Amino acid sequence: MCNPIHNELDWIGLRCVSLHLTTVKDAKSPFRGYRFRVSLVAIFIIISLAFYQFEFVKFTKYEDEFYSKFVEIDTVMAQDPQSLLPCNVDSWNNVTLEDISFKDVRADWKNKSLGSWQNFEDAALRPISAFVYEHEIVVVTAKYIKFDKPLYCRYFDCNHVELHGTAFQSTMFPYSAVYCARRAGANHITVTRTIDEPVEFTVPIVNRVLSKPVHEISVCVGPIYGAESRWLEIVETTEHHILMGIQHFYFTVFNQVDTYTRRLLDDYEQSGNAKVTVIQTEYKHMDWMFHMMQITDCFFRARHHSKWILNVDIDERLVMTRMPLHSYLRTIPEDVGDISFSSKRVQRTENLPSIFTPEGFEREVLFTKYQKTNSMSYMEMKVLLRPDKTEGLFYHWVWARYPGFRTMMIPKTVGYVRHYRTTLPSLAANWVKSKLVTDNLRNNRLDARFEEKLMVAVVRRLKLVYEQRDMWCEEIPWWILRMMERSNYNCIWKVNGTRFA
Ligand SMILES: *[C@@H]1O[C@H](CO)[C@@H](O)[C@H](O)[C@H]1NC(C)=O
Ligand SMILES: *[C@@H]1O[C@H](CO)[C@@H](O)[C@H](O)[C@H]1NC(C)=O
Ligand SMILES: *[C@@H]1O[C@H](CO)[C@@H](O)[C@H](O)[C@H]1NC(C)=O
């Protein structure tokens, strides 16, 4: 046992023994009786020490057992958010307003039963996102509550401390959105059913108080969900729209997407072409029934951030046939709030490839592989809209505009939306059996120059994202290779293809 106390006792014990020996050496001395007593005392001390030591051993055994069960408690000093430094409030956010804009107009729409939707009756009242504009804040939630029920906007500062006494009474409209009045210094927000119930969820408020939109045109891309790997549709549609002059994309993922597809989405975000929003709810599965949540989130996300948004799914591509998109929009009167396009469907009869293989890829892309197309129709309209001049985007059409704004239909000769729609089991997959479709199929494709440009753009992006290689051990300096146990290196010897092990 290496115990300082124990060692000290040993040391004292040895001193006592040497004292005893000294007394024995002086046996002839006249003080024999005295020496004998001293010896006895010494022996007594030695025995006591031995006994003590024995007890000590027993005690440490007991002590070990005691400490294995005993829990030491460390005091932890939590920070009370109330004691944090006061928030810095930028001047654009130092605004408190009494009410929201267009309240009467919205009341009229409510009266006409517009902008409502009912599903997921037992869902939690959970905010997904929130945006602050010049005249109000809008919170998008993952629930539908009829607009005759009161709801309360609850505001929090940069320290997540509620701004006391600032709650605002509102209702859910349109769809899953709630309009809230502005509050100076509000950085986080939520909505609750009563004015003072405990708050479970808050979301940050994204700044949309912008002097002018960041993007001229963006795409609100329909939700990405489910097991099928969608990377080919995503890359083709996105590169196609980039060639049309649209450079920003709002992607929405429900729950999660396969990691292969996610890499492509991450690349578009990294290259500054996209914002990926992931919507999570308490539901284990999210599917087409949540589509309106993506539309509502994207609509308010884009308001004042993009002047125009094209609202299409990942299998739909805007085709401009007479003049480029921006040139055409410059000819559109300022009082147009939304523009409807007709569409054509192209049959996609096979599954999408699961990974990118450069060999033979040019035959796999949808825009060369599939040509069976039905005739153009206004039955399925797609919309390009101004999110600051319209309200209540419902799937692919807008039902309301702010006073002074109107809708417009684009002639078929100017442009249309090309929809590479699957004929495999999917939503309303029986579309292809309709006589209207089968009687009117013809081979149709895009002009060769455009197809070539698109192919170059698609392959360039895919190579950037998916062409990966092993890490060679030869490219790592020897002194780094020696730093850790070998299992910590993921490299392969270039010379013989074996792992570093
Ligand atoms: C916010 O505005 C108020 C007046 O409305 C002013 O007194 C205050 O100093 C402003 N705060 C900041 C941080 O600008
Ligand atoms: C809504 O309808 C009710 C009853 O029809 C009417 O009394 C009310 O004035 C209407 N409100 C608006 C804003 O139109
Ligand atoms: C492969 O090459 C490396 C580096 O020359 C060497 O250390 C390693 O032992 C080789 N492995 C095999 C299985 O030959």
Cβ(289)–Cβ(119) below 8 Å: yes
Q: How far is the CA of 169 from the centre of ligand 1 (A)?
A: 25
Q: Which atom of ligand 3 is nearest to the CA of 496?
A: 1
Residue pLDDT, tens place only, 113-161:
887 888 888 999 999 999 999 999 999 999 999 999 999 999 999 999 9
Give 61 or 218, the one with higher predicted confidence: 218
330-350 average pLDDT score: 93
Q: How far is the CA of 245 from the centre of ligand 2 (A)?
A: 44
The whole-angstrom separation of Cα 356 and Cα 464 is 11
Query: Does the C-beta of 497 come closer than 6 Å to ligand 3?
Result: no
Residue pLDDT, tens place only, 9-61:
444 444 444 444 444 444 455 556 777 677 777 777 776 666 555 555 555 66
Q: Which residue's C-alpha comes closest to atom 3 of ligand 3?
A: 493
Residue pLDDT, tens place only, 81-114:
889 999 999 999 999 999 999 999 998 888 888 8
What integer pLDDT is reported at residue 493 of this predicted model? 96
The whole-angstrom separation of Cα 168 and Cα 171 is 10
Q: How far is the CA of 170 from the centre of ligand 2 (A)?
A: 18
Query: Does the C-beta of 413 come closer than 6 Å to ligand 3?
Result: no
Label residue 490 exposed, middle or buried (CB < 10 Å: 0-12, 13-18, 19+).
exposed
Query: Does the C-beta of 89 come closer than 6 Å to ligand 1?
Result: yes
What integer pLDDT is reported at residue 4 of this predicted model? 42
Looking at the CA of 478, which ligand is closest? 3
Mean of per-residue pLDDT scores for the chain: 88
Q: Which residue's C-alpha comes closest to atom 1 of ligand 2?
A: 111
The whole-angstrom separation of Cα 53 and Cα 6 is 8
Looking at the CA of 486, which ligand is closest? 3
Residue pLDDT, tens place only, 387-431:
999 998 888 888 889 999 999 999 989 999 999 988 876 766 666
**β-pair partners for 141:** 127
358-386 average pLDDT score: 89
Query: Does the C-beta of 496 come closer than 6 Å to ligand 3?
Result: yes
Query: Does the C-beta of 493 come closer than 6 Å to ligand 3?
Result: yes
317-343 average pLDDT score: 95
Label residue 106 exposed, middle or buried (CB < 10 Å: 0-12, 13-18, 19+).
buried
Residue pLDDT, tens place only, 424-464:
767 666 666 666 666 678 999 999 999 999 999 999 999 99
Q: For residue 310, give the nearest of 387, 235, 366 by alpha carbon.
A: 387
